[in-house]
Amino acid sequence: MRAALLALPALLLAAPATLAHENHMHSSHPLVDARMGGMTMMVATMAQVSRAAEGEGSIARAAFPASGLALFARSLPALFAAETADAAETRALPAIWADAAGFAAQTAEFAAATAALEAAARADDREAFTAALARTKNACQACHTTYRAES
């Protein structure tokens, strides 16, 4: 019970970021559900690591959420399998599949950025962590600008 009460403030702090992203319906394909769910959780995780970068003290506390981001980043190519190209419940643009090399380069950059974020957190290197966080955010934005439809 005490652990649940201690976790409540963290959940409440993450809720606005999660709610600001979007509400998802179930899709007709489990890979689409997995990527939409992962993207939604990534918003809350990015808020958490951003707060760590803005705070004082050891940045190493962000190693666990950063490792989750890096793991999800490595899975992205599989979540955009060709069989999901025609799913109606997604904002993924056809350019993902038409420009497979460009999309692969974008996901590779995101994976490299999140790997650097995790490494900097594990090393407790605030300067490298801040730079890797900016790189990660830029990778998100660049990919969404090219490969995601506006809502």
- Helical H segments across the chain, by residue range: 2-21, 30-54, 63-79, 95-98, 100-122, 126-147
pLDDT tens digits for 87-129?
888 899 999 999 999 999 999 999 999 999 999 999 999 999 9
Output the six-digit token pair for 25: 């319906």
Please choose, from the candidates 42, 1, 64, 17, the residue with its C-alpha nearest in 3D space to the C-alpha of residue 139: 42
- Residue 55 sits at φ, ψ, to 5 deg, of -85, -175
pLDDT of residue 88: 82
What's the confidence (pLDDT) of residue 89?
A: 83
Mean pLDDT, rounded, of the chain: 86
Low-confidence ranges of the chain (pLDDT < 50): 1-21
Distance between CA atoms of residues 136 and 143, nearest Å: 11
Q: Where are the domains of the chain?
A: 2-147
CATH superfamily label, 2-147: Cytochrome c/b562 (1.20.120.10)
* Residue that the structure tokens 């939409």 belong to: 36
CA distance 10 to 134: 23
